[in-house]
Amino acid sequence: MVASDLDQAGLDRLEAELNLSGQNVWTKAGDLRSKDYCEDLIEYSVQATGLDMLVNKAGIITRGNILTTTGEFCERTFEISVSSIFHTSRKAIGHMKRHGGGAIVNVACYWGPYPGPGHAAYWISEAAVAALPKCLGRDQASDGTRVNAVCPNEVNAPMLRTGPPAWLRSVHSRSGGQQPGALRPARGARPNSRRGNLPMSYAPSRARRSN
């Protein structure tokens, strides 16, 4: 497996932990807003391990309606959440097509297909992440490449607990919107009143989707 993140130290910890458990993990740090990095990541994966499956899971979140969301924030949201998937999937599909097919899984959010108020850029980007497999799946089925999406609800991940990074807080502050913090529970959308937890809550669903 090859893992990607902007945080090299976090990747180093992940690589050490998983390799210690007997798995073979490689990592490549970089900024998914860069088309060149997205394409280099796929090429690195092909050389390191071969490539038969791609999981696209990247995104940023904060609050803001369309009036309090700056154009800068909206563009960054789409670069990270949507454009990166276009570039990685395009490069991966080219490789998979030459080698008999593969599987791509986009991890979106429940709020993409079923958006709510107060997160205009985030909801729109997640809707795109969820919709893209419907297009790619039809386009690539004849090549043996399956493309699906999973859309979990709230997951108890670091971004949910701590809020967005400093640069995103700065952008949001300049827009005149609320200072973003940890996401408050969407109580009405969670009838059982609990969030998902990593890694076990959603791993089985991803595995089923890719089969």
In the set 37, 44, 110, 122, the catalytic residue is: 122
Q: What is the CATH number of domain 31-182+196-210?
A: 3.40.50.720
Most confident by average pLDDT, 36-40, 122-126, 153-157: 36-40
CATH 3.40.50.720 domain residues, the chain: 31-182+196-210
| Sequential DSSP letters for 17-31 | HHHHTT---EEEE--
What are 165-206's pLDDT values in tens digits?
A: 444 454 445 444 444 443 444 444 455 555 556 555 545 444
pLDDT band at 61 (very low <50, low <70, confident <90, very high): confident
pLDDT band at 42 (very low <50, low <70, confident <90, very high): very high
Sequence-distant (6+) residues with CB within 8 A of 62 are 73, 119, 122, 163, 164, 168, 169, 172, 180
122 given a catalytic annotation? yes
H or E segment at 85?
helix 84-98
CB 163 within 8 A of CB 182: yes
Inform me whether the pLDDT recorded for 149 exceeds 50.
yes
